Structure 1
Amino acid sequence: MPRYKENDLPKSKLNASTLSKALQIFKYATHHKWKFYLGLLFLLLTGGTALAFPKLLGMLVDCVNNKDLVQARNIALGLMVILLLQSFFSFFRLSLFINFTENTLANIRLALYSNLIKLPMDFFSQKRVGELNSRISSDITQIQDTLTTTIAEFLRQFILIIGGVIFLATISLKLTLMMLCIVPVVAVAAVIFGRFIRKFSKSVQDQVAESQVIVEETMQGISNVKAFANEWYEIARYKGKINEVVKLAIKGGVYRGYFASFIIFCLFGAIVAVVWYGVTLCINGDIDGVGELISFVLYSTFIGASFGGIAELYAQIQKAVGATERVFELLDEVPEKINDLRKPSIPKINGKVSFNHVGFSYPSRPEIQVLKEVTFTAQQGQKIALVGPSGAGKSTISSLLLRFYAIDKGEILIDDKNINDYDLENLRGNMSIVPQDVILFGGSIRENIAYGKPDATEEEIITAAKQANAFDFVNGFPEKFDTLVGERGIKLSGGQRQRIAIARALLKNPSILILDEATSSLDSESEKLVQEALEYLMQGRTSIIIAHRLSTIRSADAILVLNEGKIVEKGTHKELLEIENGMYKNLSSLQFSEY
């Protein structure tokens, strides 16, 4: 799912319910709330000093008629003091709001990430990573901008409108009514027109982006383009998209021309109309002096600008309330029962595993039964292999063993104790999984091995690397164990990543080991090294081995053949080969006939 752009963020209607949810942000402010309230006080002071400025400026102009230099100097000094105070108040307003916002959002980010990482697997199976990233990035950024500047600016504009109208009414009620009939309407119309222009410009940008996609696709697949001699086709496709861009851009230019004409005639015309009417009232004696007229014009400009700005700010606040709702939706998700702090020691389990009549369907596909009446027992230290076609339910068994999902029927026992009776951290702390596609984190080799035991000593890490057949290739790198593996371990080969994963599992020293097709994607040389490491890893541990290559499981204590969610055959390699027309025998014949 693509990440939201700021202008694409959905809005939420402002009502008692949505505002109540949005105000939950303050519970994450902890002891920083006072900064927000003090910032509001400085905001009021900023608005008050801003309102005093046009009044004093008008009085300063009136000093021309009075020819009073002393009064002019005092008023000028007063204006400088007001500017100084406004600068002082603005500094503290901004710094306090930013301080409050950053501390509050840091708490929200931590709470959101902590809750996300503890949510059950069925949540992640129904959500896209791009959407979750958007919640943490775009939504939080929208809240950040709103708390830092938008709310303050909205309140400031509101103060200027209310205060400005009051001051205007004291100068001339007639002129005030005339101004309120013209300036706000024109200002709001300008905002609506401007928003339309921006949306049209965005559609042009989207078309340009689509044309760039054609270029990118063509360059990436240039060999295919040339192999099919389709250069003419791609040129025609790109030309068509470019022509669409040109048509839209020219149309947008016409609209921008209308907008410029509107601003010049209507907005400035409104100012001329107000000034003309003010001059008329001034000549007729309804307004005392040119100074009051200048004050009136300045207040009118403040009010017009504030009306124009407040509409956009209101839209931003709507987006922020929507973003807050989406963030709190994630915070309200119920996490798995797992401890916030890692226990210093995890009680060891023996490793006996029993599935008794287990039935299961994924929450996202409840109508499809993935496992049906699955029953088997793995004694402590035994190797149990799971084979069968794709979709038979092999990997699902490993997911249920790790308690990623709750079963629909039956029971799973560990050491004859129901799996749900174990503390989740204790249960998973006694298990390790070596998957087919190993995901390494973007740190060093040392950090990735130590992921199995974060407090491991250097000696323990080196020992685990040696036992996993990883020490030699790690030692061959210039930075040795400090070598960075790159994003998802991209700088290492498949076999190297597998051996790092095995070293990680060895360091964890699990009682139950899950090998999910751990060698299926490796070349022969890498498979040999990895298989040796796996044999060492499986010693003395209950091992559940999911395999496509039957050659790797010949020595298993029992092999379970799954098909359509059921165990259709069970036995050792030798016993299963003796079943006439058996599924395992057919699979074995197919695989070994390929060599």
Structure 2
Amino acid sequence: MARGNRQDNGTRKPDMPKAKLTKENLKEAFLIFNYLKPFRRTFVTGLLFIALSSGTTMAFPYFLKKLIDSAHSLSLGKDAVAPGTIALWMLGILTLQMIFSFMRVYLFTYVGEHALSDMRKDVYRKMIMMPMNFFAQRRVGELSSRISADLSQIQDAVTGMLAEILRGLLTLVIGMVLIFVLSPALATVMLSVVPVIVIIGVVFGKRIRKLSRNTQDQLADSNTIVQETLQGISNVKSFTNEWYEIGRYTRSLQQVVKLAVSNGRFRGMFVSFILLSIFGTIILVVWYGTTLVQAGTLSFGGLTAFVVYTAFVGGSMAGFADLFSQFQKTLGATQRVREILRDETEPVAVTDEPVQEKNKLQGAVSFEHVAFSYPSRKELHILKDVSINAAPGEQIAIVGPSGAGKSTIAALLLQFYHPDEGRLLFDGKPANSIPLSQLRKQMALVPQDVLLFGGTINENIAYGKHDATQAEIEEAARKANAHDFITGFPEGYETVVGERGVKLSGGQRQRIAIARAILKDPVILVLDEATSSLDSASESIVQEALDNLMKNRTSFVIAHRLSTIRNADKIIVLDKGHVVESGTHQELLGMDDGLYKSLNKLQLEFKSEDI
């Protein structure tokens, strides 16, 4: 992510990228209004209250003029409405304005929150149904930003920015009309000054925002140093680099101070300029207005109302610069959200439908002359003319050097990707003839790096079958050799595993994943190096659990440790994307100069050296 978009642990909201104001981008912005349609009556009512709120606001200076002129007329012995009566009218207008403003804010918040909730659900549903290639080409932080930062920007636009733009326009138009009605000559003098102030203010504002961003970015770098140092404190201390980290942090803070002081200097100049401009303009307007009052072409109340209307008009003009910037950010956010909503998803079901009888598998799997390259690296051929046959209930082991294509076989089995050439068959039927959700419901994956969700052990096991009873969950845990260690925790099955399962050891996480797969009761099982990262003690326990899991199911075991697949019905040896050998453990050991025999010899030598 670009530097300006970083978020430093909550100290700064990301600075959203802006989009240019073009016809195409404006069309994209209408995405928002599609989500406002179910609430259009409430939205239109909110627009009405904006108009009423602006009208009552602009009426206040008019009645202020009446109040002052009334007091002046009575002092001269002329007939006029009593000032007390006018003051009561003004209180009534203020009360109405309070009601209108409340309704405006409430209605736009109601519409915005509901519309953006619907948009969030659609974006999340679309995102989670994307093919694996979509996630392979994007970072998790980038996708999270779509749900959080981009949609929050759109939400701010609906609940606040849109209303402020409309209020500003109404205030500007009504104010301009009224100041010309009050005094065309004075309005001409005022308008010759205000645009200059606004333009200079915009230039200053851009410079200050840039300096502020730079300061926040530098502060983010400082916080990153602290975060990295604390996360790697063992490395810092083992290399006795405390002095180095202190120096690095100090230099970063010095840069923060330098930028902040520079920013303060510009803000001070800006504030001084604004104060000079505002009071200078007031002096100019009042001075010229007094000459008109003396000439009898403008009343004193009219002059007061003119000054107030001028403040309203100037405030609206100054506010449009920031609103325009926010509008550009909203266009950019809408573009990025729209990209996701336009992308093509996998044809998966969005409900928990049971497996239909016609789609139930027996477990036969065939790769027929399969070739494959990842979409992001089409020039690199991972699999080349691969053919593998597995009968129902067979255990097929896939072995080979790193980069041979073993994990790609697992990805194709689970239909994360599809072959470029050749066919993948389940029970003799092409994979694409079986609905994707129906196919995956009959398959389970136990990966090398198990990801557990941050809930309880109970919830993580039940992820394999959401309607499972407690008895079924515990039975699955027993088969996975997990029940004993689970009940050893004070909270038992209600133990919270922590983010990504950090509160459990590697072997414990593997057994939870195996219990989850057992509970799912798959027809086809994929084990992707499920024991390669475990120590010998954990491996033996997990391997026993895996043996329980593989009983009576078609199993594809991607193995790093060859000792774990000696009893496989068939061992497929891959090298550089080709199937170079195939057979049982004993058959492959009997091949002179065979790759499997060579790999097995290397592992035995490595193990004996460890001993």
Amino acid corresponding to residue 57 of structure 1 in structure 2: L
Q: Residues 323 and 517 (structure 1 numbering): CA distance in 2 closer, same or farther, change over 3 Å? A: same
Partner deviation per Cα, 1:439-482 (whole Å, 9 max, x = no partner): 11111111111111111122211111111111111111222111
Q: Residues 492 and 228 (structure 1 numbering): CA distance in 2 closer, same or farther, change over 3 Å? A: closer
1: CA distance, partners of 2:509 / 2:15: 40
The match for 2:598 among 542, 567, 586 is 586
Aligned residue in 2 for 1:504: 516
1: CA distance, partners of 2:72 / 2:332: 55
The match for 1:318 among 311, 320, 328 is 328
The match for 1:394 among 379, 394, 406 is 406
Aligned residue in 2 for 1:342: 352
| Cα drift, residue 394 of structure 1 | 0.3
SS in 2 for 1:8: coil
Aligned residue in 2 for 1:22: 29
The match for 1:107 among 113, 118, 131 is 118
SS in 1 for 2:147: helix
1: CA distance, partners of 2:406 / 2:310: 74
1: CA distance, partners of 2:127 / 2:413: 22
Aligned residue in 2 for 1:482: 494
2: CA distance, partners of 1:400 / 1:441: 25
2: CA distance, partners of 1:139 / 1:48: 33
Aligned residue in 1 for 2:313: 303
1: CA distance, partners of 2:379 / 2:288: 75
| Cα drift, residue 111 of structure 1 | 0.7
**Residue 580 of structure 2 is aligned to residue 568 of structure 1:** yes
**Residue 420 of structure 2 is aligned to residue 419 of structure 1:** no
Aligned residue in 2 for 1:46: 53
Aligned residue in 2 for 1:77: 88
TM-score of the superposed pair, with normalisation by structure 2: 0.94
Equivalent runs, 1:183-582 vs 2, <5 Å: 183-221=194-232, 224-225=235-236, 228=239, 230=241, 233-287=244-298, 289-347=299-357, 348-582=360-594
2: CA distance, partners of 1:438 / 1:245: 41
Aligned-residue sequence identity (percent) comes to 53
| Cα drift, residue 225 of structure 1 | 4.7
2: CA distance, partners of 1:394 / 1:334: 28
Answer yes or no: is the 8 Å Cα contact 1:513–1:541 preserved in 2.
yes
Answer yes or no: is the 8 Å Cα contact 2:355–2:438 preserved in 1.
no
Q: Residues 321 and 504 (structure 1 numbering): CA distance in 2 closer, same or farther, change over 3 Å? A: same
Q: Residues 255 and 128 (structure 1 numbering): CA distance in 2 closer, same or farther, change over 3 Å? A: same
| Cα drift, residue 184 of structure 1 | 3.4
1: CA distance, partners of 2:405 / 2:542: 25
1: CA distance, partners of 2:572 / 2:427: 20
1: CA distance, partners of 2:391 / 2:28: 52
Partner deviation per Cα, 1:533-592 (whole Å, 9 max, x = no partner): 111111111110000100000000111111111111111111111111211111111111
Amino acid corresponding to residue 433 of structure 2 in structure 1: D
Answer yes or no: is the 8 Å Cα contact 2:14–2:149 preserved in 1.
no
Q: Residues 517 and 197 (structure 1 numbering): CA distance in 2 closer, same or farther, change over 3 Å? A: same
Equivalent runs, 1:124-139 vs 2, <5 Å: 124-139=135-150
Amino acid corresponding to residue 287 of structure 2 in structure 1: W
Unaligned residue ranges in structure 1 (runs of 5+): none
1: CA distance, partners of 2:226 / 2:497: 32
Answer yes or no: is the 8 Å Cα contact 2:461–2:516 preserved in 1.
yes
1: CA distance, partners of 2:131 / 2:239: 48
Amino acid corresponding to residue 343 of structure 2 in structure 1: E
SS in 2 for 1:341: coil
Aligned residue in 1 for 2:10: none
2: CA distance, partners of 1:219 / 1:511: 46
| Cα drift, residue 216 of structure 1 | 4.2
| Cα drift, residue 81 of structure 1 | 1.1
Q: Residues 212 and 463 (structure 1 numbering): CA distance in 2 closer, same or farther, change over 3 Å? A: closer
Aligned residue in 1 for 2:68: 61
Aligned residue in 1 for 2:38: 31
| Cα drift, residue 244 of structure 1 | 2.9
Aligned residue in 1 for 2:134: 123
| Cα drift, residue 229 of structure 1 | 5.2
2: CA distance, partners of 1:122 / 1:557: 32
| Cα drift, residue 115 of structure 1 | 0.8
1: CA distance, partners of 2:156 / 2:40: 17
| Cα drift, residue 7 of structure 1 | 5.8
Amino acid corresponding to residue 501 of structure 2 in structure 1: G
2: CA distance, partners of 1:247 / 1:31: 51
1: CA distance, partners of 2:235 / 2:414: 45
Give the superposed CA RMSD. 1.8
Answer yes or no: is the 8 Å Cα contact 2:6–2:217 preserved in 1.
no
2: CA distance, partners of 1:154 / 1:412: 57
2: CA distance, partners of 1:277 / 1:235: 62
1: CA distance, partners of 2:567 / 2:543: 12
2: CA distance, partners of 1:408 / 1:173: 75
1: CA distance, partners of 2:534 / 2:250: 45
| Cα drift, residue 218 of structure 1 | 4.2
SS in 2 for 1:364: helix
The match for 2:192 among 181, 190, 199 is 181
Count the aligned residue pairs.
Answer: 594
Unaligned residue ranges in structure 2 (runs of 5+): 8-12
SS in 2 for 1:61: helix
Partner deviation per Cα, 1:463-519 (whole Å, 9 max, x = no partner): 111111111111112221111111111111111111111111111111111011111
Deviates more, 1:580-589 or 1:247-256: 247-256
Q: Residues 210 and 389 (structure 1 numbering): CA distance in 2 closer, same or farther, change over 3 Å? A: same
Partner deviation per Cα, 1:210-251 (whole Å, 9 max, x = no partner): 234334444554555555555554454444434433433333
SS in 1 for 2:581: strand
1: CA distance, partners of 2:239 / 2:124: 48
1: CA distance, partners of 2:456 / 2:236: 40
| Cα drift, residue 273 of structure 1 | 0.9
Amino acid corresponding to residue 482 of structure 1 in structure 2: E
Aligned residue in 2 for 1:165: 176
Partner deviation per Cα, 1:320-374 (whole Å, 9 max, x = no partner): 1221121111111111111222213444200111111100000010000000000
**Residue 171 of structure 2 is aligned to residue 145 of structure 1:** no
Amino acid corresponding to residue 518 of structure 1 in structure 2: A
2: CA distance, partners of 1:585 / 1:257: 77
1: CA distance, partners of 2:468 / 2:351: 18
Amino acid corresponding to residue 126 of structure 2 in structure 1: N
**Residue 20 of structure 2 is aligned to residue 13 of structure 1:** yes
Answer yes or no: is the 8 Å Cα contact 2:35–2:115 preserved in 1.
yes
Answer yes or no: is the 8 Å Cα contact 2:36–2:43 preserved in 1.
no
Deviates more, 1:485-494 or 1:27-36: 27-36
1: CA distance, partners of 2:406 / 2:147: 34
Answer yes or no: is the 8 Å Cα contact 2:473–2:519 preserved in 1.
yes
Amino acid corresponding to residue 376 of structure 1 in structure 2: I
1: CA distance, partners of 2:47 / 2:501: 49
| Cα drift, residue 412 of structure 1 | 0.7
Answer yes or no: is the 8 Å Cα contact 1:464–1:507 preserved in 2.
yes
| Cα drift, residue 206 of structure 1 | 2.3
